[in-house]
Amino acid sequence: MRVAVTGASGFVGGVVVSHLLGSGHEVVALSRRPVPERAGLVHRSWDLTTGRLRDEPTVDAVVHAAAHVDEWDPWPVHAAVTVAGTRAVLDTWPEARVVLISSASVYPLRGAGRPRWLLTEDDLPTHHPLSAYTRAKIAQEQLVLARGDTVVLRPHAVHGTGDTTLLPRLARARRHGRLVCPGGARTRVHLTDVRLVAAAAVRACESDGGVAVLNVADERPLELRAVAAGVAAANGWTERPVFTGAPVAWAAALALEGTARLLRSRTAPVLTAYGVSHLAVSRAFSTARLRERLGLTPAPSDLTLWTAAS
């Protein structure tokens, strides 16, 4: 099978490329930045904001891992990269199967079923996105799902070696010899190993046709204090974590966001509502459909490999 991977130079896209090659597939890696040369891989430079790819290679499937990830950037940036970029991918390969790396951030903070902290694929996307990133991912999913022969993967808080998003956010929260965690020590956080995301993407490419939306998450949620301890050990941080509790975290995030907007800051504050939603709200994501549809059994979270990109 020949598979195109957008965002191939990114954290998730790069691991997807490695897993596809390891499974014996040919890969067309698509990104603005170069990727390491490997047997079975061809790289094409492509800025999704320029529209459909010209002289496109023939592929059997596309893993669409490209998106704009800085939630503080304004909506037009997300619309151009994530939304219009997805249209460009669909226009380039109108017949290929599409596997979209989406995000569990599309969900509301609480599910519609019981218990409400357990979210399934039956829970509809939120009507009140906390960031332009979430709004764009919802729009991206709508475009892809309207096409058919699509698998949408929804990971949450992706961790692993080379993380460029969540771990740097945690590192910024280190202040005066303390790792400040925005949430309660017993808040349950459901993480997703980047290797599980990649394995799911490979299986989705290889699976039978049809439309599916699948949560992708580790075996079970962890308490925030366990996450903090694991991240600190993996990165050599010796300070003791401090947990703010959810009310303080939400209040601080809203205050910092308000100040940043007032000052028209182009840089996100150290704490945002979107960031707090990942760590201060106990949630779990059902992986029953992932197991049934793709035959994958999530493993426990391994935080020993959660280190930032160099």
**Do the domain assignments include residue 37?**
yes
**Do the domain assignments include residue 20?**
yes
**Do the domain assignments include residue 192?**
yes
> Residues of the chain with pLDDT > 90: what percent?
83
**Do the domain assignments include residue 307?**
no
**Do the domain assignments include residue 244?**
yes
Q: Among 122-131, 173-182, 279-288, whose mean pLDDT is lowest?
A: 173-182
Q: Domain of 61? A: 2-300
Span 57-75, mean pLDDT? 97
- Residue 176 pLDDT exceeds 60: yes
Identity at 244, one-letter amino acid code: T
**Do the domain assignments include residue 230?**
yes
**Do the domain assignments include residue 93?**
yes
Question: For residue 250, what pLDDT is reported?
Answer: 96
Count Cα atoms within 13 angstroms, Cβ side, for 181.
27
pLDDT in tens, 181-215: 999 999 999 999 999 999 999 999 999 888 999 99
Other CB atoms within 10 A of residue 148 CB: 11
DSSP the chain: -EEEEETTTSHHHHHHHHHHHHTT-EEEEEESS-----TTEEEEE--GGG-SPTTPPP-SEEEE------TTS-HHHHIIIIIHHHHHHHHH-SSSEEEEE--GGGS-SS-SSSSTTEE-TTSPPPSS-SSHHHHHHHHHHHHHHTTSSEEEEEE-SEESTTBSSHHHHHHHTEETTEEEESS-TT-EE--EEHHHHHHHHHHHHHS-SSEEEEEE--SS-EEHHHHHHHHHHHHT--SPEEE--HHHHHHHHHHHHHHHHHTT-SS--S--HHHHHHHSS--EE--HHHHHHH---PPPP-GGG--B--
**Do the domain assignments include residue 155?**
yes
- Residue 310 pLDDT exceeds 80: no
Place of tokens 């990109």: 309
- Residue 256 pLDDT exceeds 90: yes
- Residue 257 pLDDT exceeds 90: yes
> 47: domain CATH number?
3.40.50.720
> For the chain, how many structural domains are there in total?
1
